[in-house]
């Protein structure tokens, strides 16, 4: 499990979501559409509502809302809720505040912990 419990990791996550996603290695770790989960590839395009990921099977358009992404940056995986990055790429740096990233990271972590409790 990837944890974002301290401020340093929250700040790194904030830097990732405000930056350029095109060119990053990405995987879908959660989605309301089960067929997307586990998909991996390189982000080749982005719109307000979607990411286009180039996979070995071809380009796949993934909705941001309802998906959870893992982006690999500097050898580290950063898990991000799609709703956190649901902005046009050019608007993301000025619209995403660290408070939103922190709240979403804690909500995701809480959700993961609850899932582990129900599986035990």
Domains of the chain, CATH where assigned: 7-119 (2.30.30.210)
Task: Quote the pLDDT of residue 6.
Answer: 61
Please write the tens of the pLDDT for every residue from 53-97: 999 999 999 999 999 999 998 888 989 889 889 988 888 887 777
Please write the tens of the pLDDT for every residue from 51-60: 999 999 999 9
Q: Which residue has the higher pLDDT, 110 or 29?
A: 29
Determine the average pLDDT of the residues in 11-32. Answer: 89
The CA–CA distances, whole Å, from 49 to 10, 16, 45 equal 23, 18, 11
- Residues 13 and 105: beta-carbon distance below 8 Å: yes
Compute the distance between CA of residue 117 and CA of residue 120 in angstroms, rounded to an integer.
5
């Amino acid at each position: 499990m990837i944890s974002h419990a301290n401020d340093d990791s929250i700040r790194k996550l904030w830097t990732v979501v405000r930056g350029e996603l095109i060119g990053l290695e990405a995987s879908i770790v959660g989605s309301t559409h089960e067929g997307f989960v586990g998909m991996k590839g390189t982000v080749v395009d982005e719109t307000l509502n979607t990411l286009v990921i180039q996979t070995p099977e071809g380009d796949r358009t993934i909705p941001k809302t309802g998906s959870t992404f893992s982006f690999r940056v500097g050898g580290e995986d950063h898990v991000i809720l799609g709703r956190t990055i649901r902005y046009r790429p050019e608007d993301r740096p000025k619209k995403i505040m660290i408070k939103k990233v922190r709240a979403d990271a804690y909500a995701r972590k809480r959700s993961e912990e609850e899932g582990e409790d129900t599986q035990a």
